[in-house]
């Protein structure tokens, strides 16, 4: 019996081709060059997302990326699941991520006009070697502060992330992101932003 139930891309139709990289051994030391590079990659990514430089953010993805945030459900401790099967807030591949970003650049993206003011707070970064050569697993916590307009209250979104970064021609690219949001009912106007 465990309170932590990992997310699996196998629970998603779009995740069929996602990497199956799994951690091997304990976390790398914070002084390890691989950990330092992965941590910097995540910090740089938060700045791209906060500034909504989404085309540059997309350029940091692999061709087979799977970006997955299943809906959390509240269950008893021994049930063996805490997400709704086949239901997700985000279940994206590269094509659908590109379409979402393209739509945000049109005059029809009312949910982001005026645009949100965002701040991604990143912490608790741990890096692991995996059973797939050239791929590392990076766990992190993210707290998103989002303010939009002058009337509505700002919102907070807290989540844990499990990312797989792949070395592509000497540069890290995001190959898989599993997001475990910490609430089953999200208290934000919409999810027209990325975690």
Radius of gyration of the chain (CA): 17
Strands, sheet with 83-92, edge to edge from the N-terminal-most edge strand: 23-24, 117-130, 135-147, 155-168, 171-181, 61-72, 83-92
pLDDT of residue 154: 85
Q: Read off the pLDDT of residues 28-47 as tens digits, 9 standing for 90 and up.
A: 999 999 999 999 999 999 99
b/e for 148-168, b at 16 or more Cβ within 10 A?
Answer: beeeeeeeebebbbbbbbbee
- Ranges in the chain, pLDDT < 70: 1-5, 72-89, 151, 184-186, 188-189
């Amino acid at each position: 019996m465990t309170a932590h139930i990992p997310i699996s891309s196998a629970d998603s139709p779009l995740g069929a081709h996602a990497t199956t990289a799994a951690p091997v051994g304990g976390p790398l030391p914070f002084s390890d060059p691989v950990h330092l590079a992965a941590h910097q990659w995540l910090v740089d990514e938060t700045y791209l997302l906060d500034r909504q430089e989404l085309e540059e953010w997309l350029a940091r993805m692999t061709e087979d990326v799977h970006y997955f945030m299943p809906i959390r459900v509240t269950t008893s401790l021994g049930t063996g699941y805490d997400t709704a099967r086949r239901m997700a807030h985000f279940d994206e591949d590269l094509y659908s991520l590109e379409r979402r970003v393209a739509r945000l650049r049109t005059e029809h993206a009312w949910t982001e006009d005026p645009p949100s003011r965002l701040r991604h707070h990143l912490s608790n970064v741990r890096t692991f070697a995996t059973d797939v050569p050239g791929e590392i697993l990076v766990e992190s916590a993210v707290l998103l502060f989002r303010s939009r307009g002058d009337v509505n209250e700002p919102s907070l979104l807290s989540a844990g992330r499990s990312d797989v970064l792949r070395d592509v021609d000497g540069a890290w690219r995001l190959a898989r992101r599993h997001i475990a949001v910490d609430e089953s009912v999200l208290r934000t106007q919409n999810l027209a932003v990325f975690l």
